[in-house]
Amino acid sequence: MNLSIVRKLIQLAAFVFLVYGSVVVGFYTADKISGAFPVLACAYDTQTADYCALIPLQHQMDHRFGAAIAAGTSLLAALLPTLITLGTFLVLFVLLNKAFCGWICPLGFFQEVMGMLGQKIGIARAASLPETSVRRIRPVKWLVLVLLVFGIPVLAGVGLVNHSLGSPYCSICPSRILTTLASGNGSQLVMDTSSAGALILSLTGALLFGLTASLSMKMRQPFCRVCPMLAMHAVFRKLGLVRLVKNVTPRCEKCGLCAKACPMDIREIHTDMTKKDVTFEDCTLCGRCVEFCPDKDVLQLKYAFVPVLRADPVYFKARKKAQSLWEAGNVRAWWRARKEAR
């Protein structure tokens, strides 16, 4: 049993809770727990047990903040619900930091499952994206957060764009389609012809879901790289209790296995030789870099000051062997072996 297996079991449990949890905790609980969960758990899924902060934030920008600008009323009073949502988000976020992405998010888990499916079919995993591509992609999540979660909803509230664009991020979010489909509800996988904006957003959402599903089979976590939740997490990441810590050794310069293991292609885990806290803005705290670090205690996953997992040469060897065995067993390899046996 290694960290990746434990993590996948936790992801599975979180997926069941977030997609079907109301069956256990009751139909109305999602309206009650927080509405500020730090993962993409969808309010459109009527069986969910909790839902993410992005939908109330968009509603607040549209119906409160934007409306207050249009009416000329108190902006501070209009921002109060947003501050409460962000406060609740922060309380939950402090507990797990960005591990909400790597351990709890249903869309993150779906992408990993698609990756596993791809491997079992025999699709070769892509190598790390080139550094230039990674650098180009990184600002997209901030643009999505600023424009789709805050900007356009405010414009809708002011009345400068159609009100159907009041929650534009949810309209394109692949998790909305994933979690509703998973709960047997096909109402979110649609082409909405009510307005030009709704048509573009609904088609973009469905396209993005299809794109995320197929890209996940070849590369790790394609959607996570542009997810606004990752950007929200990045803002508060210094406040979370879970940290990725690095104790640099001279061997780090030649190794680089941590960067190769990183699903988000964060090369800085390898190249940065000065920082001790290496919880970079794209990190999802999945812990793979710690698992694949061959030098004792160089990388550590810590909860507050307590190490949860430390890099260890014995663990590294066992983990690498397990990975090789996992990758070797696939349909394509089986088919090839069968043909050769004939």
Partner 1 sequence: MHESGVGGHAHNRRPAAAYLRDGAGATLMFWRPDLEQRALPDAKADGQVAVRPSGVDNYHLLMASRSGESGEEVALRYVYMHGKPSGESPRRLLGAHKVALEIVPAPLPREHWRYETSKPAVFEVRLSGEPLAGQPVQLVTTHGSLVEGSSDAQGRVEFVLPEDFAHVAPGREANAPAEFIVSTAHTQNGFIRRTTLSAEYHANPAHWQSSFGGVVALVVGFVGGVALWRRLPTGDRA
Contact region for partner 1 (CB under 8 A) — 6-14, 105-113, 127-135, 333-341? 127-135
Q: Distance (Å, rounded) from C-alpha 312 to C-alpha 85?
A: 40
| Residue choice 9, 95, 121, 191 for contact with partner 1 (CB under 8 A) | 191
- The residue among 23 and 239 lying less far from partner 1, judged by its C-beta, is 23
| Residue choice 82, 175, 202, 284 for contact with partner 1 (CB under 8 A) | 202
- The residue among 194 and 271 lying less far from partner 1, judged by its C-beta, is 194
Is 223 a residue that touches partner 1 (CB under 8 A)? no
Retrieve residue 133's tokens.
Answer: 């591509």
Q: Which of residues 65-94 bind partner 1 (CB under 8 A)?
A: none
Least distance to partner 1, CB of residue 44, Å: 5
- The residue among 151 and 256 lying less far from partner 1, judged by its C-beta, is 256
Please, are residues 157 and 61 in contact by the beta-carbon 8 Å criterion? yes
Residue count (the chain) = 342
Which contacts qualify for 138-143: CB closer than 8 Å, 24 or more apart?
138/225, 138/281, 138/282, 140/225, 140/226, 141/225, 141/226, 141/227, 141/228, 141/230, 141/231, 141/234, 142/231
| Residue choice 198, 201, 226, 278 for contact with partner 1 (CB under 8 A) | 198
307-316 exposure pattern, b = at least 16 Cβ within 10 A, e = fewer: ebbbbbeebb
| Residue choice 27, 326, 334, 335 for contact with partner 1 (CB under 8 A) | 27
Is 4 a residue that touches partner 1 (CB under 8 A)? no
Nearest to 129 by CA among 215, 228, 232: 215
Least distance to partner 1, CB of residue 293, Å: 10
- Spell out, one character per residue from 30 to 69, where the chain touches partner 1: x when CB under 8 A holds, - when not: xxx----------xx-x--------x---x--xxx-----
| Residue choice 79, 134, 140, 208 for contact with partner 1 (CB under 8 A) | 208
Least distance to partner 1, CB of residue 303, Å: 24
Angle between helices 131-143 and 228-236 (to 10 degrees): 90
Is 209 a residue that touches partner 1 (CB under 8 A)? yes
Q: Distance (Å, rounded) from C-alpha 180 to C-alpha 258?
A: 35
Contact region for partner 1 (CB under 8 A) — 135-143, 191-199, 235-243, 277-285? 191-199
Angle between helices 3-20 and 174-182 (to 10 degrees): 80
| Residue choice 39, 54, 219, 231 for contact with partner 1 (CB under 8 A) | 219
Q: How far is CA 136 from CA 139, 205, 260, 283, in A?
A: 7, 22, 19, 17
Q: What is the DSSP secondary structure assignment for residue 239, as one 8-state letter?
A: G
Q: Distance (Å, rounded) from C-alpha 223 to C-alpha 205?
A: 12
Nearest to 50 by CA among 61, 40, 41: 41
Retrieve residue 197's tokens.
Answer: 């904006």
Contact region for partner 1 (CB under 8 A) — 101-109, 201-209, 237-245, 300-308? 201-209
Binding site for partner 1 (CB under 8 A): 26-32, 43-44, 46, 55, 59, 62-64, 123-130, 163-164, 166, 177, 186-187, 189-195, 198, 202-203, 206-215, 218-219, 257, 260-261, 288, 292, 320, 323
